[in-house]
Amino acid sequence: LDFLRECCIYTVLSDVSEIQDVIHFPGLSDGLAYCVMELLQGRLLAQHLESIRSGQELPLPSHDAAEICDALLHGIESCHNRGVTHLDIKPSIVWEVAQPAGVVVKILDFGLAMLSNLSLLPTEARHFFRPASVMISSADSTGPRLEVDDGSAPEHVQHVPNASDGSEAWHEFVPYAQLSGVGSPWYMSPSRWCGFASNWQRKAIPQPELHLCTMPASVNLWVEKQGGEDVAGIKQVTPISTALQGAVSAPRFPEGAFFEVVVRKVWPATMLSIEDSDSPAGLVGLALGFTRLPPNERTGLPALNERAKDWPQSWVVGYNGRFYQNGEEVTAPLNESPHFSVPEFRRRRAQKLALAGAGADANVDWPVGCLGWSFAELLRDDVVGLLAEDGGYLTVYVNGRIVSRVQADGINDFGPLFPLVELCGMAREVGVPPRPVGPGGEEAQDERLAAKEMQVELIETLLPRSTSPYADVYSSALIAMEIFQSRHRPAVSPVMVKLLMATQLWLHQGRPSVAEHNGMLTALSEWAASSREQTTNSGRYLVPEIEEVIRRVLMAAGGGNSPTCIKTAQEFRAALNERTACSHVSQEFLRSHQPHQAESMHTLKLKRMKSHWLQSHEKKAAHGPDPAKAVVGGTNWDLTPWTLSSSHIRRVLVVLQSQDSRHIASVSISRLEPNVPDELQLRLAECFRGPGRNSSSQQGKPYLFFRDGQLPTDVCPVPLAQLAEANVAGIVLHFVRRVELTPVGMDGDSRSFSAGPAAARIVASALRGNAALEELKANQQGFGNDGADAIGRASYGCSLRRLELARNGITEAGIHALTNALAKPGSTLVHLELSGNELGCVGCKHISEMLRTNKSIQFLGLQKNGIGPDGAVDMGEALMSNCILEELDLGRNSVGYAGSAALAGATRLNAVLRRLNLQDNNLELTAGTKIAEELSAGMQKDLEGFLDPAKDAPLKSKRTSGNPKSYRATGQVQDIHIGSKLESLNLRHNLLGSLGGASVLAALQVSATSITELNLAWNDLGAETARAISLMLGNNSQCILSSLDLRDNKNLGLGAALPRALARLAPTEAGQEESGE
């Protein structure tokens, strides 16, 4: 019957691509029940996850995980739309289909599925799905039992743990447990759990009652039934004693396992040995405890014939106030008894003795142990309760009041605990109530009953949803957690372990009414209340975006009705797609690459006649195709009708890497969904012909078209705003060499584009692994620190050669990631423009540290960055070890005297730096003289000597190198060539004055520099400078200038100072002209 019903469900779902296809089902009237189904290639998701967790395979990438989840949810959504609820979704019924196949997963095993829309079935099959029929077919006299799910369990989980194995073994077992005929507990929602417990409970079965094991006749004990409860007594006082054991486990209450005894008779103290307090015949009392060892099922006798304190796997208190754990005494346990609990116990005891008129033992000096009181002090009719708290404590109640509470390691393992009772010393006869009222006695009963009513109400609230479609949504959320953190095994919460252990006990006891079974009721209600917090325990390694979606699904598990709750597969899938850009692919898309579906190349030509590539192809067609470029006979795979998600792109990758792509000459795209992972876009870009790639690897690859533009191309075909709107920047920019962004506010279209850090992140995503893009001009985009950080992190490993980030509001915090990337080996950047930002001295320090190791940057623009003397000094020190930088622009800063001196001095140690811009730095006379001193390599005479008329001397050839001289730089002596290798020095718009300008010119006269361009405009130059100019231009000068800018220096014209100075050179130059020189 179950087989026929499952086959019928498969036929209802025959049009769902994620369901295993039914090839042939003869129906219900042939007399032979069989079904021929699709043969699947691949493996179970459970097997894949286990391979990852065991280290045999790499973890699932996020886009692969998203694709599996999306396909699974699409299949579940399709089932729900047809009225089918699976009710047993788990990794061992999810089949990963071997690719290329198009369909990612197949959902198997509909043996437990429910069908709500019976109109989809033939009339003769509908009676199989009536509720009564379902119950009859699944009603097994033995009922459900816990098993291991063989389809998902690893090798080390092969059997169901025993009750005495402890919670550690159960922790490993829980994710792979199976309830026969019900489902997998780990993937069952709280409502499914409530339905299972309600449907399978047998209210006619009485609740288990506590009673004692049969004792052999040879011991000094007797046990009999009196008034519905077991009564045990000791025959005579002897030094030999044996513990009684409960025949069933102690009943569980919300606080933990609990039982109690009633002291019915006691021996007179005069009959006991006061000297021997350790003997059962000494002045001691009874002992109570718990053990994990179950009694002998075959004989009904206790597991051991020992004293209670000697039992292994036990926790025992009693005698004269001692505590034993696992057969050994704990002399100093952590005692958290309430204040004055022992004095209060003794006060009440004294009152009881006074009322009875028996004060004979009031003055007895009772020997006491670590508990501070002796169990020999118990009186007749005292009710003594023992609670094994789930919090890990052992608590003793006397007449409903706590007397002692000690820490008991390992007692909170949630497994069954069997009572231990030992009669010795004063204890002569005790009764064991079969149904104790619980910790605290009658006083706490009202509160306990109210809590129980709330637990029952919660279960009844969840019960109607036990077979609702949300059960599948809940299961898929747990599977999604496992897939997105595939490296880690599920983290099992203690509440779930407690529930499964309680279920095992409940099944073993015959499935009595849940409302009356404290253990099952408490564990079930606790799980229902805590299940919505599953992501806290099991989702610790999820990224926040995925964790937030799954948490919203689980919020509905315990009956939550928040507007943010996700209750349907459609909502769950949409929320995941929003964060992962992964949506299900249609059958039309799966067939779109096939030759009869793809557009012919001839049609593509007619549509794109303006394409230069197609026009050149038409011209060459008459002479035969070029094997490397021709696409004659090929087809265009037109993907423009679809907004491509991760799933679509994965499918495209599968096709392009298979034999199915031989006829594809080009692929056209128009849009991508948001949040498609960068690595997936990069993998797609690598499938097409592109610039900057090995030509041999281009053979056979198709071309990529974005809308009507063919790629690759030299300049970006459309503005970045359009690329961002279509979410294709990460792909298209892998096929262009140059990108220039319109400065924000200078173009109407740019205002519609979300500039700032958002734009920077788009550009950064395109930079990762980009072998094509060589030039990026992104000036005045408002990137800020976040944008600069994103671009910096993405720039390493790309082929970028020119980067302009001027006027972007970048500070020292934002430049750090960029300098880190440029400091790594393999950087290709040659031109870096950072003018107009706010780097300051700290930012300049980061750049300086980068320059010490960078091997590519030749131009560095740092104009108007608020760089002071400290930053300039750092830069000067870095230049001493840099042998790549050729041009440094520090204009419009405030480098000051120290900074200008450090930079000028660095040029004598740097044989590569050719151009230095220090304009608009407020440099004064002292800075000018210091620059002059550094440029002349320390050979400068006093200023007046430089301005004296040149003496007759042999003409020195210009630009000859001086002799090597030792120069101390940064604490080390280095051999250098005297004289700078600068070719251009810009000191425009400073405050050098006439003497400062003269110093610089005089230094150039006597120093073997390479300077050919000098800018001294706007420096208030005067007569001294004019005289120095005439000397520098004379025959004895070491410098030849091809460009000298002296604009806006009014004092040069006062008194015709400059013409008179130059006039001195006229006769000599005329004589040279007459002699033909």
Per-residue model confidence as pLDDT tens digits over 910-928: 889 999 999 999 999 999 9
What is the predicted pLDDT for the residue at 952? 36
DSSP string across 476-532: HHHHHHHHHTTTSPPPPPHHHHHHHHHHHHHHHTT---GGG-HHHHHHHHHHHHHGG
What is the predicted pLDDT for the residue at 848? 95
Per-residue model confidence as pLDDT tens digits over 375-419: 999 999 999 999 999 889 999 999 999 999 999 998 988 888 999
Of 237, 309, 323, 311, residue with least CA distance to 280:
237
What is the predicted pLDDT for the residue at 359? 60
- Those residues whose C-beta lies under 8 Å from the C-beta of residue 445, and which sit 6 or more positions away, are 437, 438
What is the predicted pLDDT for the residue at 482? 94
For residue 356, give Cα distances in angstroms to 50, 174, 349: 70, 56, 11
Cα–Cα distance for residue pair 874/851, rounded to 1 Å: 10
pTM beyond 0.75, yes or no: no
SS3 288: strand
Sheet holding 1043-1045, edge to edge: 713-715, 736-740, 775-777, 802-804, 831-833, 859-861, 887-889, 915-917, 984-986, 1013-1015, 1043-1045
SS3 857: coil
Cα–Cα distance for residue pair 719/747, rounded to 1 Å: 11
DSSP-assigned letter for residue 335: B
What is the predicted pLDDT for the residue at 694? 59
Determine if residue 304 is left, alpha or beta; phi over 0 gives left, psi from -120 to 50 gives alpha, anything else beta.
beta
Least confident of 273-282, 584-593, 1004-1013: 273-282
Tokens of 665: 């000459």
CB atoms within 10 A of CB 129: 18
% of the chain residues with pLDDT over 70: 85
Q: Are 635 and 601 in contact (CB under 8 A)?
A: yes
Per-residue model confidence as pLDDT tens digits over 433-445: 999 988 986 778 8
pLDDT at 281 over 90: no
Per-residue model confidence as pLDDT tens digits over 1015-1039: 999 999 988 888 888 888 877 777 8
According to DSSP H, which parts of 291-367 are helical?
341-356
pLDDT at 1041 over 70: yes
DSSP-assigned letter for residue 38: P
What is the predicted pLDDT for the residue at 150? 82
Per-residue model confidence as pLDDT tens digits over 705-742: 987 788 888 888 788 888 888 888 888 988 999 999 88
Give how far the C-alpha of residue 165 lies from the chain's centroid of Cα atoms, to the nearest Å: 34
Work out the pLDDT band at 192, boundaries 50, 70, 90.
very high
Work out the pLDDT band at 141, boundaries 50, 70, 90.
low
Mean pLDDT of the chain, nearest integer = 82
Rounded to a whole number of angstroms, the CA Rg of the chain reads 45
pLDDT at 21 over 90: no
% of the chain residues with pLDDT over 90: 38
**Bridge-based pairing state of the strands 775-777 and 713-715:** unpaired
Give long-range contacts, CB 8 A cutoff, 24+ apart: 217-222.
219/305, 221/423
User: Higher confidence at residue 1065 or residue 842?
Assistant: 842
pLDDT at 134 over 60: no
Half-sphere exposure of 74 (CA within 13 A, CB side): 22
CB atoms within 10 A of CB 602: 10
Average pLDDT over residues 169-187: 90
Task: For residue 862, list its beta bridge partners.
Answer: none
Please report where in the chains the tokens 């309430």 appear, as a residue: 338
Work out the pLDDT band at 155, boundaries 50, 70, 90.
confident
pLDDT at 965 over 60: no
Cα–Cα distance for residue pair 312/420, rounded to 1 Å: 12
Least confident of 2-6, 49-53, 320-324: 2-6
Work out the pLDDT band at 361, boundaries 50, 70, 90.
low
- Those residues whose C-beta lies under 8 Å from the C-beta of residue 482, and which sit 6 or more positions away, are 49, 91, 490
What is the predicted pLDDT for the residue at 131? 55
Tokens of 695: 């030509």
Average pLDDT over residues 262-271: 88
Cα–Cα distance for residue pair 846/844, rounded to 1 Å: 5
What is the predicted pLDDT for the residue at 1035? 75
Cα–Cα distance for residue pair 543/507, rounded to 1 Å: 39
Which runs of E-coded beta strand occur in 2-138? 22-24, 36-37, 42-44, 84-85, 94-97, 105-107, 114-115
Per-residue model confidence as pLDDT tens digits over 571-586: 999 999 888 887 777 7
- Those residues whose C-beta lies under 8 Å from the C-beta of residue 414, and which sit 6 or more positions away, are 167, 170, 390, 494, 497, 498, 501, 502
Of 562, 539, 549, 548, residue with least CA distance to 485:
539
pLDDT at 80 over 80: yes
Work out the pLDDT band at 368, boundaries 50, 70, 90.
confident
Q: Are 766 and 791 in contact (CB under 8 A)?
A: no
CB atoms within 10 A of CB 105: 21
Cα–Cα distance for residue pair 230/740, rounded to 1 Å: 92
SS3 77: helix
Per-residue model confidence as pLDDT tens digits over 511-559: 999 988 888 998 898 888 887 777 677 778 888 889 999 999 998 887 7
Cα–Cα distance for residue pair 876/910, rounded to 1 Å: 10
DSSP-assigned letter for residue 660: G
Of 80, 87, 65, residue with least CA distance to 18:
80
pLDDT at 873 over 60: yes
SS3 707: coil
SS3 878: helix
pLDDT at 834 over 90: yes
* Helix/strand number for the chain, H first, E second: 33, 43
